[in-house]
Amino acid sequence: MLIFCAAITVCSRLRSARQSRGLTRREGMNLKALRYFVAIADSGSFTAAAALVRIAQPALSRHMRELEAELGVPLLRRSARGAMLTQEGVTLYESARRILAEAEQVRAQLTARAELGQATITVGASPTLGQVLLPGLFERCDSGLGGFRILLREAFTPILSDWLERGMVDAAFLTNADSSRDFDLHHLCTEPFALITAAPRRIAPIVAVSDLPGIPLLMTRFHRSIVERQLDVVGGRLNVHAEVDSVASICELVMRGRWTTLMPVSVFSRQREARAVAVSEVAGVQLNRLLMLGTRRDGKSNAGIALFTELVRAECEDLLAKGVFSFSDGPRAAARGGARSRK
């Protein structure tokens, strides 16, 4: 559909040029002709383009004459020095590159589906990211790719990074990953940390960084290390009552009403939607984590990993739009805010 729409756009841009010359319009334009045309434009000559696309020069010239006849406009000026684009040729060139890129993307998707078949991609995720990303991603993979399956392994980022390098997982959702490790990183989004308490609220909606020492916290060791590095920049410090390397246990303790945690805001997304927790922002410092997708460099086919990465990005975009990775709850927050303002 994208390729078809793009081709229509090209024809629309060239239509006025044809009509101004009183030329008749003939239907037809194929990807092969566009590839040949782009090759000539990029190389600057028919001779170089013929070698590039592996076709005899007379045949290449014939394809260009047919393309010009089909579009009804001159695309190239031929000279002893080579070939130059006409104004109409420039218009076609800009759109042709986009059309060809979209065609290649579709080809890669179809190839990936054929290659994957009933294959399984082993995915590593931290407990905080797994519960947020995996349900929607599983449904996308299950419905969009047939037998494409996900096998989940849970661990924190340091262990997941080791698993990636050792080939124990094909991809992993990572937090503040080390870019020097032997795997590829794809940035997904930046997510803030928030102070979380059980409702009703026992602390202010905005807490100054200088007030953090007065709030006893439950935190995982990994999240604590991320936050303390960021607090060091402004001279801030935490009051960690206990390190608990179990996100589920921290969530349970917070929901019992006595404890507060400093956690990525998405961890309590369901409780936020149900208004079962109060979320507070820390002012005076940027406390956040970088969410990334790590993929093996020697793993499944490039096409398969590229397709998986595309599905991950689509799921992240949907979650971002819903406000899962921010202090806003997206459209729900806007609706509630409007309702409160009318009272």
Per-residue pLDDT of the chain (343 residues; tens, 9 = 90+): 334 344 434 545 554 544 444 434 444 568 899 999 999 999 999 999 999 999 999 999 999 999 999 999 999 998 888 889 999 999 999 999 999 988 887 777 676 666 655 567 889 998 888 889 888 888 887 765 545 678 889 998 999 999 999 989 999 999 998 888 889 999 999 999 999 999 887 789 999 999 999 999 999 999 999 999 999 999 999 999 999 999 999 999 999 999 999 999 999 999 998 999 999 999 999 999 999 999 988 755 566 777 788 889 999 999 999 999 998 754 334 334 443 443 4
For residue 112, the model assigns a pLDDT of 62
Provide the 3-class DSSP secondary structure of residue 8: helix
Q: Note the pLDDT tens digit of each residue in 272-309.
A: 989 999 999 999 999 999 999 999 887 555 667 777 88
Report the percentage of the chain scoring pLDDT > 70. 81
CA–CA gap between residue 43 and residue 61 (Å, rounded):
14
CATH architecture of 31-114: Orthogonal Bundle (1.10)
Rounded to a whole number of angstroms, the CA Rg of the chain reads 28
Asked if omega into 200 is within 30° of 0 (cis), the reply is yes
Domain residue spans of the chain: 31-114, 120-189+290-330, 191-288
Domains 31-114 and 191-288 alike in fold: no
Q: What CATH code would you report for 191-288?
A: 3.40.190.290
Q: What is the pLDDT of residues 138-150, one digit of tens each?
A: 888 776 554 567 8
| Helix count and strand count (H, E) for the chain | 12, 12
Provide CB contacts within 8 A for 292, sequence distance 6+.
Answer: 173, 174, 175, 177, 185, 186, 187, 188
The topology (CATH level 3) of 120-189+290-330 is: D-Maltodextrin-Binding Protein; domain 2 (3.40.190)
User: b/e string for 297-307 if b means 16 or more Cβ within 10 A?
Assistant: eebbeebbbbb
Gap between the Cα atoms of 21 and 91, Å rounded: 17
Instruction: Tell me if residue 235 falls in helix, strand or coil.
Output: coil
pLDDT tens digit string along 201-221? 778 999 999 999 999 999 999
